[in-house]
Amino acid sequence: MTEKSLNEAFAGESMACIKYLAFSDAAEKEGYAKLAKLFRAIAYAEQVHAINHAKNLGLIKETADNLQSGIDGENFEIVEMYPAYDAIAKLQEEKGAQRSIHYAIEAEKIHEEIYKLALDELSKGKEMNIDDVYICPVCRYTHLGKPTEKCPICNLGSDKFRKF
């Protein structure tokens, strides 16, 4: 019973964190810098709650295990989850959902490959040589190092990418 409750709490806190970050972005675009800050701060609090639940559920392990969990999660999204969701979106002719799913599945393929590379390096006793990671703010295409001129998934100019 407790595990089920913690899993549900983890999911709820995780969704709240992301939702509040989206609210922060919206408030920022509307010129409400202080409200954007408030949403970001509370999103962080929700993130801490989610991490605490994840720790108690045993979801956070050593880095190699965490990379494998990332690979497994990305693969599930690529092979099972998003294809099923895409079929429903196509059946219901939901163009926005189809675009969102397309963006996600293409980005997830890249995430899976990056995690595989990182795990391979880690298995050799090395940390992956990563200077900068760039993320497209539209489709979440992920690129290690300086990206090409345009996003290969959504065609957004790479000058708009977020650098990590």
What does the pLDDT read at residue 148?
Answer: 85
What does the pLDDT read at residue 114?
Answer: 97
pTM of the model: 0.87
What does the pLDDT read at residue 9?
Answer: 97
Residue 9's contacts (CB-CB under 8 Å, 6 or more residues apart) are 49, 53
Give the residue ranges of the chain where pLDDT is below 70: none
Spatial separation of the C-alpha atoms in residues 157 and 56, rounded to whole Å: 42
What does the pLDDT read at residue 71?
Answer: 98
What does the pLDDT read at residue 1?
Answer: 80
